[in-house]
Each structure stands twice: as structure tokens, then as C-alpha cells.
């Protein structure tokens, strides 16, 4: 990861243009499709993100459920951040670009906390941040 930058794992279901927005701001983007085969189980994708302390950008709601802020059971993922895109795919690049300052602010803010994970959902007309 770049000093001061965010390591982004871009899920296979997210347009590459979203990764370009992060790259344009100096962040490291690793498309999941280059790390594991297409269709790999969500738990394996999450485990790789956990190992790398990455922020996984996804539209997959199941992945978000794997790493809740307040777990019902023992927490498996202590370092995996998630940005859940909950807007139509054609809006994803625009919504990420529109909220990039907030994403970066929340990421850097979270790095000083006990739970350092960035947990965020971005929709067509909302942004949710879990603190």
C-alpha cells in the first residue's frame, strides 16, 4: 500500500472505471479478478482482503454481511474494510468520484481508531458510514 494511500480490492462485479477513480487519486487498486479465478467464494475474497488489510469495493451484498461492524459471533475479519456500492452500475463511477473526499477522510480517520476498518455504503442518493 502507498504511504497515505488506500489499498483497494476491486470486486469482479464492479466496473473498472471505479478503480480508475481510485487510481487517479493515487491509491493502489488490485482487481480481484487478477488475484483469484472468477466465481471464487466470497469468504475467500474476504480472507484475502483481510490478509492485505484492503478495502474491498463491491456491489455484492453478501460480502458486506461477512464483515459486520458489530458481529453476532466471533469476528473473523478485523482488518477488511468494505465500500458497498448500492447504486446502479452506470452510476458507480460518478458516485465514487462525487464522494472521494469523504471516502479518503473516513479512511484516514478510521486509521487512528481501535477498529480501523472503513465501512461505507454508497447509493444513488445516500452515503452510510458505519462508525
Mean pLDDT confidence for 14-32: 97
For residue 2, pLDDT over 50 is answered with no
Average pLDDT value over all residues in the chain = 89
Q: b/e for 13-36, b at 16 or more Cβ within 10 A?
A: ebbeebbebbeeeebebbebeebe
pLDDT in tens, 56-87: 999 987 766 666 555 555 456 778 999 999 99
For 41, residues 6+ apart whose C-beta sits below 8 A from its C-beta are none
> What is the pLDDT at residue 115?
87
Query: Domain ranges in the chain?
Result: 9-121
Among 16, 6, 31, which Cα is nearest to 93's?
Answer: 16
In terms of DSSP H, where are the helices of 4-128?
16-24, 42-52, 61-66, 89-98, 100-110
> What is the pLDDT at residue 1?
39
Amino acid at each position: 500500500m502507498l504511504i497515505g494511500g488506500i489499498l483497494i480490492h476491486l470486486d469482479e462485479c464492479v466496473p473498472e472505471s471505479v478503480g480508475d477513480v481510485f487510481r487517479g487519486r493515487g491509491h493502489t487498486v488490485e482487481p480481484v479478478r487478477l488475484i483469484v479465478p472468477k466465481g471464487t467464494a466470497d469468504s475467500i475474497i474476504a480472507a484475502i482482503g483481510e490478509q492485505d488489510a484492503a478495502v474491498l469495493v463491491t456491489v455484492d451484498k453478501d460480502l458486506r454481511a461477512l464483515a459486520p461492524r458489530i458481529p453476532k459471533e466471533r469476528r473473523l475479519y478485523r482488518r477488511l474494510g468494505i465500500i458497498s456500492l448500492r447504486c446502479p452500475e452506470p452510476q458507480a463511477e460518478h458516485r465514487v468520484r462525487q464522494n472521494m473526499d469523504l471516502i479518503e477522510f473516513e479512511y484516514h480517520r478510521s486509521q487512528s481508531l481501535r477498529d480501523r476498518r472503513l465501512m461505507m455504503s454508497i447509493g444513488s442518493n445516500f452515503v452510510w458510514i458505519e462508525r
